Amino acid sequence: MDGTATDESNSRTIPWDSGTFYVILSSSLMGVMGVSLISPVLPQLQAVFDVSDAQIGLVITAYTLPGVFLTPFIGLIADRIGRRRVIIPLLFIFGAAGAGMALATSFTELLALRFLQGIGASALVTLAVTLIGDVYEGGRQNAVMGVNSSMLGTGAALYPLIGGGLAGIRWNVPFLFFGVGILVGVFALVVLPEPDGQQSTDVRTYIRRLRDVSTDPQAAAIFVAIFVIFFVFYGAVQTALPLLLSDEFALTSGEIGVTLSMVAVASATVSSQYGRISQWRTAPELVALGFVAYGISLLGLWIAPSPIFVGLSLLAFGVGFGIVMPSVDTTIVTLVSNRLRAGMMGMRTSVLRLGQTLGPVAFTFLAETAFETSTTGYRTLILGFGLLILASGLLAYPFLRR
């Protein structure tokens, strides 16, 4: 236990003088940087490398794909050799591969480095949260969890602005910003202790836990919800929408970044009030209401006559995120015993990454191949998924109320 977790474990004081605390926050910020920083730059990258919409979607897919396979086992490795020995190499890989993309001379090189960066990013947020549980106790643990969640929302809101602004200098400058990960890795190497009490878990037991969790009906429903959320968010909002904003409204990367940040602004605001919201409805009911918000947002994007209307519509998507993700995590941690909780969280993150990976590819491929123009395809897909998700939420809510 780190010295910051004193005998006064119920204290809610934030340990501002703890190096470990800043490693935790920085690692979380690195974990959410990978997509939101680059999303506004996608139209510019498309022009630089002269690639199609389907190909530019691979910039997102190459990054999220490693997490689909690696994340369920990162916890096992960290349990066996220690958090410090895992998170520090991941930070170096994330920063070096990310900054290296600024020197890419071909689209193939860019994707290869992006895939390597995705390996580094695969478990940064997960390990940051794990460190909070290792190092802090009681009220202080809750306080640090709250600050970490707030930083995640703040980072997700600011990164599109930073990425769009840096792209105004040159297309490759946003990638240099990823080099911050190297600095965080050096800092962690100096200040991060190895928490006590690590336990090793054999591979066979770990796999059996994952199998047991994945066959639970309620867990399966949660996994489906997570997949749909991130499939649509990364396909429609993070990939298709920037291309639409560039083609239809001629927005610059900076303007696209401001528009996309509306999701994170609304999400951070709503999630900060989740303690009160959760007293009003159960977690499954809130998930259904979140789907209603997602559907309304997508329908708003479909009819949006201006970038301002797009931004307002994205606020509704952020409201959905703000109530759905805490509800999903609350359901997960109360669904199973302590022995299965790590496996459940690993499966949750893997399914999330799968949605992130398939969404951009599916939206760009279908838009280009199944419709007369990509713009028509994006709008039709946004409409179709909006109606489907809205109907799902409206039908599920009264059922869950009963």
Please determine, for residue 392, whether its predicted confidence score (pLDDT) is greater than 70. Answer: yes
CATH of the domain at 371: 1.20.1250.20
Between residues 200 and 161, which one has the greater pLDDT?
161
Beta carbons of 344 and 330 less than 8 angstroms apart: no
Confidence of residue 158 (pLDDT cuts 50, 70, 90): confident
For the beta carbon of residue 39, count every other beta carbon within 10 angstroms.
26
Look at the chain and report how many structural domains it folds into.
Answer: 2
Q: pLDDT, tens digit, for every residue of 300-342?
A: 999 999 999 999 999 999 999 888 887 887 677 667 655 555 5
Q: Rounded distance, CA 319 to CA 289, Å?
A: 10
Ranges 55-64, 107-116, 216-225, 281-290, most confident: 107-116
Q: What is the pLDDT of residue 147?
A: 75
Give me the pLDDT at residue 389, please. Answer: 96
Per-residue pLDDT band for 49 (boundaries 50, 70, 90) equals: very high
Looking at the fold, whether 152 and 222 belong to one and the same domain comes out as no
Identify the pLDDT of residue 5.
44
What average pLDDT does the segment 291-301 reach? 97
Confidence of residue 264 (pLDDT cuts 50, 70, 90): confident
CA distance readout (Å), 200 to 13, 18, 77, 81, 234: 32, 27, 8, 8, 35
pLDDT at 402 over 90: no
pLDDT in the model for residue 61: 87
Domain shared by 61 and 174, yes or no: yes
Q: How large is the average pLDDT for residues 223-236?
A: 93
User: Residue 200's pLDDT is what?
Assistant: 56
Pick the more confident residue, 95 or 64.
95
Same domain, 166 and 224: no
Among 164, 185, 200, the domain boundary falls at 200
Please indicate, yes or no, whether residues 164 and 100 belong to a single structural domain of this protein: yes
CA distance 316 to 314: 5
**pLDDT exceeds cutoff 60 at 353:** yes
Task: Identify the pLDDT of residue 210.
Answer: 67
Q: What is the pLDDT of residue 11?
A: 46
State the average pLDDT over residues 359-371. Answer: 91
Report the pLDDT averaged over residues 372-382.
92
Q: Is the pLDDT of residue 71 over 90?
A: no
pLDDT of residue 399: 87
pLDDT of residue 7: 39
* In a shared domain, residues 141 and 187: yes
The yes-or-no verdict on residue 36 having pLDDT over 50 is yes
**Domain shared by 287 and 338, yes or no:** yes
pLDDT band at 118 (very low <50, low <70, confident <90, very high): very high
- Pair 284, 397 in one domain: yes
Is the same domain home to 266 and 128?
Answer: no
289 Cβ neighbours under 8 A, 6+ residues apart = 281, 323, 393, 397
User: What's the rounded mean pLDDT across residues 366-372?
Assistant: 91
Mean pLDDT, residues 52-64 taken together: 88
**Domain check: are 194 and 238 in the same one?**
no
Higher pLDDT, 325 or 26: 26
Residue 386 has pLDDT above 60, yes or no: yes
Asked if the model's pLDDT at residue 8 lies above 50, the reply is no
Same domain, 35 and 102: yes
Contact 278, 331 (CB under 8 A): no
Residue 191 confidence class, pLDDT cut points 50, 70, 90: very high
% residues pLDDT > 70 (the chain): 87
Q: Which of 134, 167, 200 is the last residue of a domain?
A: 200
Q: What is the pLDDT of residue 64?
A: 87
**Averaged over 68-72, what is the pLDDT?**
82
What integer pLDDT is reported at residue 194 of this predicted model? 67
Rounded CA-CA distance 317/32 in Å is: 17
Q: Which of 200, 235, 269 is the last residue of a domain?
A: 200
Give the pLDDT band of residue 196 (cuts 50, 70, 90): low
Same domain? For 2 and 135 the reply is yes
Which band of pLDDT confidence, cut at 50, 70 and 90, is reported for residue 142?
A: low
For residue 106, pLDDT over 90 is answered with yes
Pair 130, 161 in one domain? yes
Please state the pTM of the whole predicted model: 0.75
The mean pLDDT of the chain is 85
Print the domain residue range for 181: 1-200
What is the model's pLDDT at position 37? 92
Confidence of residue 343 (pLDDT cuts 50, 70, 90): low
**Span 357-365, average pLDDT:** 91
